Structure 1
Amino acid sequence: MIVALGCNLAGAYTSREALLEAALAALPDEGLELVARSTWWGSAAWPDPEGPEYRNGVAIVRTALSPAQTLAALHRIEARFGRARGEANAPRTLDLDLVAHGRSVLDGDLIVPHPRAHERLFVMGPLAELAPAWIHPVSGEPAFRLAANATVGRDARSIAKV
């Protein structure tokens, strides 16, 4: 399973990276076992580049939870870290997206794989670090190619080694 992590507000933490590290540490509390994780990436805020810069990364996670249960677990972690859902694309303390759940393809209330992750360099770049040959369950494209062709967040770059 692939989870994308992001934030552009540190909340109660000393930095955005510290908040994201704490979110990774919280995964096991929800039945999500961290298998691997990327470096942190930075990119300009979107749609308003004047906002605080984003930090993003990707984690490969193992779980026995269903896709819906996994998404609910991710939302609980977001809430623990002060995420308040309101205006779309507003600055946020934590955003956890279910990018893929095995080879599952769902197109209902829950869409898996994430419908826009393949367009985002700040998701596909970190994923290509971890699993360059990972194949998107719908397009059949590998992560390294999706990263090279991403159209959103083209300024994204790795900023910290793990």
Structure 2
Amino acid sequence: MVEAVEGDEKSDRAVAVGIDDGVDLNDAVIVALGCNDKGAWSSCTEALEAALARFRSEGIDVVARSSWWSSLAWPDPHDPAFLNGVVIVRTEHDPHALMAALGRIEDAFGRERSVRNAPRTLDLDLIAYGRLSGDLQGLILPHPRAAERRFVMGPIAEIAPNWTHPHGGSASDLAASASVGADAHPS
């Protein structure tokens, strides 16, 4: 399956689900995307695609991406279902600057942070920044709950099954054992 990524000429090429041989997984910068409130968009798929199109303008180049995965909302399955995916990116931003750029994209999409785990138009999480590990002045890397979430590890395993979490375990193994969002599956 091939997904188009919009942006400049370099980014206009199709990016296939998967990863090319030129990406060093030890240096992988992984961002998760999620939506369960389409907001002004016709669907969460449209919102997530539009968010990806904004990455380039923030100095974030998508080099690989997963398909979109569906799952029940967590922790309240009565909330609208989620659509999730991951991308591996290249950027000159350090982790804090990357988080700021992701926050600007969320804000542009009407993200509100009033209630924890409430439905949201866009949720962008920095999952890993190479092999960095620990509390980096309030930013914890890798994402502290990523390994237990199938809606994160499943998409990572889809594009980089041999990626190793900085605390151990391959993406494939972590996806198989993830307990949160165990119903997650490609849409």
TM-score by length of 1: 0.95
Determine if the alignment matches structure 1 residue 114 to structure 2 residue 138: no
Identify the residue that residue 70 of structure 1 maps to in structure 2: 98
Deviation at 1:60, TM superposition (A): 0.5
Which residues of 2 match residues 18-57 of structure 1 at below 5 A?
18-57=46-85
SS in 2 for 1:57: strand
CA RMSD, 1 decimal: 0.8
SS in 2 for 1:33: strand
Letter in 1 for 2:141: V
> Where does the alignment leave 5 or more consecutive residues of structure 1 unmatched?
none
1 CA distance for matches of 2:118 and 2:130?
A: 30
Report percent identity of matched pairs: 59
Q: Which moved more, 1:111-120 or 1:98-107?
A: 98-107
Q: Residues 4-38 of structure 1: CA distance to partner in whole angstroms, max 9, x if unpaired?
A: 00010111111000000001111111110010110
1 CA distance for matches of 2:157 and 2:150?
A: 10
1 CA distance for matches of 2:183 and 2:158?
A: 16
Identify the residue that residue 80 of structure 1 maps to in structure 2: 108
Which has more radius of gyration? 2
Letter in 2 for 1:114: H
TM-score by length of 2: 0.83
SS in 1 for 2:175: helix
Question: Deviating runs (4+, > 2 A) in structure 1?
Answer: none
Determine if the alignment matches structure 1 residue 125 to structure 2 residue 154: yes
Identify the residue that residue 100 of structure 1 maps to in structure 2: 128
Determine if the alignment matches structure 1 residue 9 to structure 2 residue 37: yes
In the comparison of the two structures, how many residue pairs are matched?
A: 158
2 CA distance for matches of 1:137 and 1:50?
A: 33
Higher relative contact order (CA 8 A, sep 6+): 1
Deviation at 1:45, TM superposition (A): 1.2
Letter in 2 for 1:122: F
2 CA distance for matches of 1:46 and 1:79?
A: 22
